[in-house]
Amino acid sequence: MGFEELVDTKTVGEIIGLYPIAHDFFVNYNLNDLPLDRTFSAAVTTMPGESLEEFGLTPSGMREQLLTFLETMMGAETSFGEVRALTIRGGKNKAGVSEEVELTIRAGQTVSIVGPTGSGKSRLLGDIECIAQGDTPTGRQILINGQALDDEARFEMDGVLVAQLSQNMNFVMDLTVAEFLELHAKSRFCAKPDEVCAQCFTTANELAGETFLEQTKVTQLSGGQSRALMIADTAYMSASPIVLIDEIENAGVDRKRAIRLLARREKIVLISTHDPILALNADMRIVIKNGGIHKIIETSPEEKESLASIEVMDNTLQAVRNRLRMGERIVSCDMETLK
């Protein structure tokens, strides 16, 4: 439904319910007393003439102002909604050797980035985050839908092209989880914010190793709970079509489910990882060596089949971790299951 149809067919109460930011518009134009059970076009005709004259507007002019307001404020949600592909054009490694790479990643695909600690995985994420145009130390170029972006498009504040989840996340606002989600829903102009907030909260608890309450302060969340909350937030609230994740395996969340969730939302997901399960669950992996892209490997059917055995070992090791956390002893029979 377009904004014109919405303004002409939905009641004022329904418009505010769908887009809470519209309430700010009504307050700014002294339209607080509009009847909530009538369409905006009908309700504005009931206002005293002097209320409209104060702003030099007619009822039709006020309607146009509301349309402009909604289109402008919602621009951040839709400006990058059609990203279908991201292309990485290679630069050079730390020795100055050309990478000779051009890789295109499609919406809905997941790519893992693997390599030794310090090899340059985070540098590749950084190049993608800033949509590098040959102006970073690697000389890489990032294309969106096959096109280079100018500086205005790269750095504009009307929309966010890339969402990044870093290894360390700290909240500084002393809000409850419910208040935090409500604030995000409003700032991101989400339609049906109550439903979106509820979905984010439920999903975050499904991803987290330990559940939390809506009344829990975000500053009291553990690292894993914080990461789970932001993954759910990114999946359901963020308009960013490109998601970068740095070492989710250390976050204490259901990492496989988190990646599947983001991929189902038709986002382009790149994840730096040392976790073989995450690496092999991806559609392909970029191998980083000496600061450069060394190889690009598509995950083979044989590797997918090997995941079952790897996951058995991983689940056993996780069970040992959980027993240690619960203060239990580990005996020789537990070690046998890991062999």
Render 245-272 in DSSP notation, one character per residue: EE-GGGSSB-HHHHHHHHHHTT-EEEEE
| pLDDT of amino acid 78 | 43
Percent of the chain with pLDDT over 70: 88
**Tens-place pLDDT, residues 213-229:** 999 998 888 888 888 89
| pLDDT of amino acid 287 | 97
Amino acid of residue 193: P
Core vs surface per residue 177-188: b (16+ CB within 10 A) or e: bbbbbbebbbeb
Mean pLDDT of the chain: 83
The least confident of 10-14, 51-55, 96-100, 269-273 is 51-55
Average pLDDT for 281-301: 94
Please determine, for residue 92, whether its predicted confidence score (pLDDT) is greater than 80: yes
Please state the domain extents for the chain.
3-73, 85-299, 311-339
For residue 124, give both structure tokens. Answer: 């590749």
Average pLDDT for 114-138: 93
Q: What are phi and psi of 235, to 5 degrees?
A: -70, -40
Average pLDDT for 185-200: 82
Please determine, for residue 74, whether its predicted confidence score (pLDDT) is greater than 70: no
pTM recorded for the entire structure = 0.70
Q: Which CATH architecture has domain 85-299?
A: 3-Layer(aba) Sandwich (3.40)
Residue showing tokens 């939905």: 10
C-alpha dist (Å) from residue 109 to 9, 70, 105, 132: 38, 32, 7, 21
**Per-residue confidence band for 257, with pLDDT thresholds at 50, 70 and 90:** confident
